[in-house]
Amino acid sequence: MRLILLGPPGAGKGTQASRLVELYKIVQLSTGDMLRAEVAAKSAIGLEAKAIMDRGELVRDDILVAMIAHRIDQDDCRHGFILDGFPRTIAQADSLALMLSNKGMNLDVVIELKVDDAALLARIEKRVADDAASGRSVRADDNSETLKKRLLAYRQQTAPLVSYYEAKGLLNSIDGMQPVDVVWQDITTILAEK
């Protein structure tokens, strides 16, 4: 099972991906998490990516493509993976298609979580408040100023992937504003049909 979870920041991709990891015993590849690990390690990539992430902009395609290419070659990905936060541009999607076909692999499905901008802002603000209240560290890019830029990046650079994958017959869209368990039910229904 190789699938992409597509959706704006705060749409619930991470939550649903964790459930998929449990159910299908496949790995979650979150490029946001990978980049945050690079930032924490102060690697060359991390040093370059930090300011871009803090501004809510997208990190260079070639960095992300190299990161994913390296990751999917690892042994734990042989049964499948969930791409969470990648691809985010058409160029990344084209590179992914090439990468997979070179390995004789294919994508099974793309699931889009649709959520409107006002709901996203409310969700992220709640995440920040909850994290602060429970003493967890708040993500540097979780604030309404940066979120607006992340949403703009999504609408301008990532949303074109919806029609890209629709044209390939891979797209399934779900109303991401439903309760988490209903979204989960919709996802498992889609996957059961694959």
Catalytic sites, residue numbers: 13, 88, 127, 139, 150
- Binding flag, residue 12, ligand AMP (CB under 6 A): no
Alpha helices, DSSP H, located in the chain: 13-24, 31-41, 44-55, 61-72, 90-102, 117-133, 144-153, 160-167, 180-192
Radius of gyration of the chain measured on its C-alpha atoms? 16
Q: How many of the chain's residues bind ligand AMP (CB under 6 A)?
A: 17
What residues contact 15, with CB distance under 8 A and at least 6 apart?
180
In whole angstroms, give the CA distance from residue 50 to residue 141.
Answer: 10
Please check whether residue 191 is in contact with residue 109, taking contact to mean a CB–CB distance below 8 angstroms: yes
Q: Which is nearer to ligand AMP, 65 or 183 (CB)?
A: 65
- Binding flag, residue 39, ligand AMP (CB under 6 A): no
Look up residue 35 and give its two tokens: 């980049």
Piece of 40-48, 52-60, 93-101, 168-176 that binds ligand AMP (CB under 6 A):
52-60
Look up residue 110 and give its two tokens: 């793309």
Query: How many residues in the chain?
Result: 194
- Binding flag, residue 184, ligand AMP (CB under 6 A): no
- Binding flag, residue 58, ligand AMP (CB under 6 A): yes
Q: Which is nearer to ligand AMP, 161 or 171 (CB)?
A: 161
Q: Which is nearer to ligand AMP, 8 or 26 (CB)?
A: 8
Binding site for ligand AMP (CB under 6 A): 9, 31-32, 35, 52-53, 56-59, 64, 85-86, 88, 92, 141, 150
